Each structure stands twice: as structure tokens, then as C-alpha cells.
A and B are shown apart, each in its own frame.
Chain A
Amino acid sequence: MSLPAQPEALARGYSLGEQMVAAAAREVRDAELVFVGMRLPLLAFLVAKRTHAPRAIGLYENGVIRETPAPQMLYTMADPPNLLRATECGQMLDVMGLLQQGRVDVGFLGAAEIDRFGNLNTTWGHRGGKTIRLPGSGGACDIACLARRTVVLLEHERARLVERVSYMTSPGHGSGNGWRRAQGLPARTGPSAIITTMGVLRFTPDGEACLASVHPGVRVEDVLSQTGWSLRIAENLGETPAPSDAELAALRALDPDRFWTRQR
């Protein structure tokens, strides 16, 4: 992966992965109902709980609802520490029902590929000119269809941020503003932010992603060259705040071996 040097990150000794997870955690507001996806989002939610959003409530598609943060690092949402003293351990339909009712404020997803309208592909990937089979939706399509705000985490590479996904596993804004309603998707749902290893992208009223902030030390031209479409830049483009001491402390306490944030 060719990424620019990271003076700020290197100086303070945090990785791009840690920057990405910290930025994702900030998308959770306190006391919100959060649908937590698998892999990196597991960590982002726990960091939010331990810092600015202690009253956020986590829903997991295996049927777990948690108000207290899990006491240990999670590799999967069904790891025993995520069940011990949970608010509720129920069925998948119990949490999916809450999601479909429109009660979930924000849902977190990882992705292999995303396009300019925030559509996700986790089914068919492309590597070195070959089409490869990826694991598939899991709960991603459900979250993307039904959560009020969807936040996506992925590594910022030209091959991953593409003009148009070849397969739409999970819908974003489709082909632009109005597309979701035309499909019949519930009102007031849809993609809210894309958090990458280089910056934060948000959506304009016409449904297209635009660069809202770059991470410390990242150059805008590098973001543009690593994006597979002509990325628009917000008028008030800012710099993503670096991970705070509290965020880094939470990250390191939860994932001391940097299982989720190494080499990103």
C-alpha cells in the first residue's frame, strides 16, 4: 500500500488505523443507539463508550444489546466478554426489528469498495485484474438500508474508492439524491460519513461524497490521487483532530497488541 509519510502520526506514535478508529468513534453522539458491525467497528464503538459517549447503547446483530462497554478486546461480537453482563442477550430479529423501526441513530460498517455515492461492495472484489469473491453482506446491507446514519470505515486506496461499485451489496445514495426514496428505502436513512486512513468524507445534499477533512500530515493532492473519481472538496475543508490522549489510551487499553489497527 503506497501511503504518504505521516509526520504527525509518526511523531506521536499512533498508526493510521488508530486515527481512523478515533475519527469513527467521534461519529457516535452520547446516548445514541448504535448498530455495531463486525471487525474495526467493534473497536470504534468501545472507544466512543470509553471517551465522549458513555451512555451510547450498542446493538449487535447476533442479538446482544450492551450499555456498559465490554471489559476486554473483542475479536467478534459474540466473544464471551461481550455477553457477560450485557443489557440483553436475545435473537437477531430483536435487534433487527429495532433497526427497521428507525430507532437506530447510527450504524457502523467496514467495506472493501465504496463509490462516490456511498454505495458499498463487499461481495465481489478486484485484485490485479482478477475478480475475487469476498465474504458478502453479513448485516451490512441491513444497516445501510435501515440506519438513520451510516458510517463506513475503510483504507484509503484508489482501488477501494471507485467511481461506481461493480456490485451494490449495501446501498448508499445509489445514483444520487432521491434514489433511496425511489427504491422505497425508509426516509431519513442513509450514508453519513466515510472514514478512511487519509481523511473524512461527508455527503452533499445531492448525495455525493466530498472531502470534509484530512488527517494530520495528509496532503489533499494525495487524497485526490488515491480516490478513483474526481473527489469534490468541501469549502470549509478542515484537518481531522489527531487522536486525543484519552482516545489513544482507550485504543491501547482495548487492543494492546494493535490487532485491529496495525499496518493500516
Chain B
Amino acid sequence: MSAPASKLVSMHEAIAEHVPSGAMVLLGAQLEQMIPFAAGHELIRQSRRELTLVGPISDILFDQLIGAGCAARVMAAWVGNVSAGLGYCFRRAVEQNIPRPVQTVDYSNFTVALALHAGALGVPFMPTYSTLGSDLLKKNGNLREFPSPVNEEKLIAVRALRPDVAIIHAQRADPQGNAHLWGNLGVAVDGARASRKVIVIAEEIVAPEIIASDPNRTLIPGFLVSAVVHEPWGAHPSPVQGYYGRDHAFFTQYHEQSRTLADFESWLQRWVNGLPDRRAYMDQLGACRSEALGVKEHAYSAPADFGF
């Protein structure tokens, strides 16, 4: 029996092959943890256009993609800078069509999660009480009020979302894409299942035996995965539990350096378009800073016994 083919590719190849302009892309599935910034920056470098961005928040990654002109539509609960405040690129795009107009489809976090859950379950919608009475309900056509068929209540049907591709950051994966994730999971598990393709970005590539040793932690099975990218520090400045912390200062600096269009363009040139890849980005960030963000004290979980 031959070993299954490796799906390991470079970030450049993964984005070139699987994320065309016009695609609906799920990013930031784990909320403030493990945001796939390196993948987002490659989308910018490869000049993707007319993307639909889907995710609960994605912190400043959505702001950067919008500022770089990659997005035509955002289907999200929150777009901004979680620790610093507003997203200036998001504001410029929505208020002034700079650099291009962006349509917003406003959700709450729960309704994003339910839309992906419906997609993952293969049903057209999921019911909820959330958003009843709100203006989210009035403005977002994917939220529809309906009478409950089993009692006298009103409910909201949250229409299923099936993104073209989910880009999910994981701590470790094997070359077939079986991925171990830990920490807060957000909408990653449903997001991967709801999407037509999955790209796994991993801090480490490990042998299949390591993944198979703990199947409860395998939250994305490899057969759903189209490409695996080994990209250490690929989520910086967001944190990856057990690998590095959140670079709070980077978020604050981005806030200051994206206030005007000219400032944002310099930021984009310095941190994305002027660099070939994540390795160059980390070189520019400097060993001092990455060392300061590294794990100071490891905290391993106890092993689970799968023996019989």
C-alpha cells in the first residue's frame, strides 16, 4: 500500500491554487486566537479582488484586506481592532468607497456560528431567538423571522453559509492535513466542515502517528483538506496557544499607522507588499520581539490513554 500523497505546499502555492478572486473565504474562525495573517497577506500580495470575507471578527486582518482592496463584501459580526478600537480601512471603504466599495452584511457572533453550523450539517438554516427585534434582522436578508412549527413562538432562521474555502490556523498537522487544534475553538470546527475547501496553516508538521495518538484533538480530518502549509509564526500578531503570545503593541501600532490612507499604504508596503513571504516578515519583526512573545513557561496537558 502506498502512502497517501502529501498535501504540503508553500503559502504562495496554496493561495494561488485554491483562492481565486471572487471567492467566499472564511478567516479568523478562532476569533482572537490563531488568525491566519500570513495567508491574508499572501491574498494581498497576489492581488485577489472581489472576495467575500466571512468570519466572526478576524481582528485587524479584515481591515487590512479591505484596505488593500481585496474585498467586495464582508459577512461578519465585528470588524475593527479588538484591543485598540475602530478599523480605519473598514471605515474608509464603507463611508467613502476607498479604495473600493465594500458591502457589509452584519451578523452577530452567534448567527455567524449558526450559519456555519447549518452549512456543516447540510441543512438550509438553523433557528435561534437571537437578533429578534434588532436592526441586524431588518438589514440582513440571511436572517428571516418565521413561526415555529412546533409551538407558538417566533424564531429567526439563519441561512446556511457554505464558504468556498476556509483558511484555518492549527498548532500542528500531518502532511495529509489531519490537524490538531487546541485552545478556544470559536467556529473552526463547523467552519471547516461547512466550506467546500479547507487550507490548513500549521505551526508544525508532524508525523501521522502523532496526530493519530490523540484523535479527540483532531478537529479537522485530512480528507476535508485541500492544502497544508507549514508556516511558523503564521498567525502573528495574534496568539497561538503553546507557541507564542499576542503582540498587543503591534495592534496598537497598526491602529496608529492606518489612521490615514497614506499611512496605511506605507504600512502595507512595509509589512506586506514589500516582503516576499512570512520568513522575511519575521526577519523584519526581529528576533528580539519574537523571543519576547515566545512561551516562557510550558504547560503541557496530561497524556490521555487510548489503550485497550
A residues sitting closer than 8 Å to B (CB atoms) are 38-39, 60-64, 75-80, 83-85, 89-93, 96, 99-100, 123, 130-142, 144-146, 167-171, 174, 179-180, 183-186
Contacts and interface: CB of A to CB of B under 8 A. Distances in A.
Contacts of B78: 135-138
Given A136-B76, A183-B132, A75 B117 contact: no
Query: Which of A75, A123, A184, A185 is packed against the most chain B CB atoms within 10 Å?
Result: A184
A83 B136 contact: no
A142 B128 CA distance: 10
26 contacts: A61-B110, A62-B30, A75-B251, A76-B32, A79-B32, A79-B239, A80-B245, A92-B31, A92-B56, A100-B110, A123-B135, A134-B86, A136-B76, A136-B104, A136-B106, A142-B108, A142-B109, A142-B110, A142-B130, A145-B129, A145-B130, A146-B130, A171-B132, A171-B133, A174-B133, A183-B154
B283 interface: no
Contacts of B136: 137, 141, 169
- Assign chain B's interface to a size class: 35 or more
A76 B57 CA distance: 12
Interface string B145-180: 100000001110000000000000000000000000
A6 B278 CA distance: 50
B8 to A, nearest CB: 27
Nearest to A170: B134
B130 A78 contact: no
A77 B108 contact: no
A62 B32 contact: yes
A64 B185 CA distance: 9
B227 interface: no
Closest 7 CB pairs of A and B: A183-B133, A135-B80, A184-B154, A78-B32, A138-B78, A141-B108, A62-B184
B90 interface: yes
B82 A185 contact: no
B185 A90 contact: yes
Contacts of A93: 113-114, 117, 187, 190
Contact of B185 (A63, A141, A185): A63
B184 A169 contact: no
B134 A141 contact: yes
Given A62-B184, A83-B183, A92-B185, 13 more contacts: A39-B82, A60-B184, A63-B185, A91-B186, A91-B189, A91-B190, A92-B56, A93-B117, A132-B91, A134-B80, A136-B77, A142-B108, A168-B134
